Amino acid sequence: MDKHQSAGAERAESYLTALVRASKTPGIQYLVVDATKVVFEYVGGWADIGRQVPMDATTTMMAYSMSKTITAAAVLQLVERGQLGLDAPAERYLESFPYGSRVTVRELVSHTSGVPNPIPLRWVHAAEQRETFDERAALSAVLGDHPRLSFEPGTKYAYSNIGYWMLGMIVERVSGQDFPSYVHEHILRPLGIAPRELGYEIADPNHHATGYLEKYSLMNLAKRFLIDKALIGDYDGPWLRIRSHYPNGTAFGGLVGTTRGFGKFLQDQLRQHSALFSDTTRALFYAPQRTTQGIPVSMTLGWHVGHVHGRPIFYKEGGGGGFHSMMRLYPESGIAAVIMTNATGFNVRACMDEVDCSAPSENPIRTT
């Protein structure tokens, strides 16, 4: 690392450390990678404040909606194998689908389906209920409560957790495997990602971060209406503990892991050829999508599309119940970054804007 790179890394580390010391979040994991190596890594703060357990690089956290990009990759693998039609009606692959034949698989992946998106904060269950939880029954109940489309499929973009929940069920139906098993076998294992780095269960409860909600926040004031009271713990200073839980929908928000786990996925996407699918399918993974009227939407088939400091990025954010995270891929720089924190309201966008990668790759850390 030359002097310029070293100075950038020092500024990034100083900035992230200051956030933890100012109690902006109890703990942080932050990682920058290129196709072959870790460019920069930072870990700081607390995994559990009350027990004074420090955050380390192997502490797992909930990823929530960052899971959706992995779900999209699973869908595209099945499309590549000819087992799933991207523009086929979604109902073809589901036992129960209340939205009719107009909604396609592509529209579910690109959030243009019109499938509604009620607030999903209560769509969680306590960690100790994992073995007995019936995910299909939970989805059936949600579909029963929200059986109508919000708009004509394909006419505009509107985020939908239900849409991705159903994509997980499609993967199961088409592959003949339960969704977590499919992802482990066909996505995580080929990339050398161990279950303790990324998976759909808390591999070691003693090495899993406690999620927190800011005491002085609007969400805390409204928590009784937004969060199952069984998940609300005690205060640790200015932080309210959220008890360990899982999202009801594995495919829309179920991943648990570390920045190192996500870093391996991002490295695969930065390489000339992906281990997950062909070059043609990977191009599809990043292809901008449009409405049926030809109007561009800020989505590919699995990534949101944006710009940071004038540079194009592909990204996915995840947040809820005590955690907030984001991963970004910078195609012009050949670099990607991921941040995971155990604070619901932590501003991951602002943080990454401050310390993230910038081209060229020889100067990966940007600070101001």
Structural domains in the chain plus CATH codes: 1-57+212-239+303-368 (3.30.450), 65-208+244-302 (3.40.710.10)
Residue 359 — very low, low, confident or very high, per pLDDT cuts 50/70/90?
A: very low
As a whole number of angstroms, the distance between CA 322 and CA 108 comes to 27
What's the average model confidence in pLDDT over 294-319?
Answer: 95
Percentages (nearest 5) of helix, strand, coil residues in the chain: 35, 25, 40
**What is residue 223's predicted lDDT score, i.e. its pLDDT?**
65
pLDDT for 221 equals: 60
SS3 138: helix
Give the relative orientation of helices 67-80 and 161-175 as an angle to the nearest 10 degrees.
Answer: 40
> Which phi and psi (to 5°) does residue 170 adopt?
-65, -45
Cβ–Cβ < 8 Å for 317, 15: no
Q: What is the pLDDT of residue 217?
A: 75
Predicted TM-score (pTM) of the model is: 0.94
Q: Which pLDDT score is estimated for 4?
A: 53
Over residues 72-90, the mean pLDDT reads 98
Q: How confident is the model at residue 122 (pLDDT cuts 50, 70, 90)?
A: confident
- Is 103 in a helix, a strand, or coil? coil
Closest of 70, 75, 325 to residue 199, by C-alpha: 70
Lowest mean pLDDT among 47-56, 150-159, 210-219, 354-363: 354-363
Percentage of the residues of the chain whose pLDDT score is greater than 70 = 92
The whole-number average pLDDT for the span 45-50 is 97
Burial of 276 (0-12, 13-18, 19+ CB in 10 A): buried
Candidates 248, 237, 224; CA nearest to 168 is 248
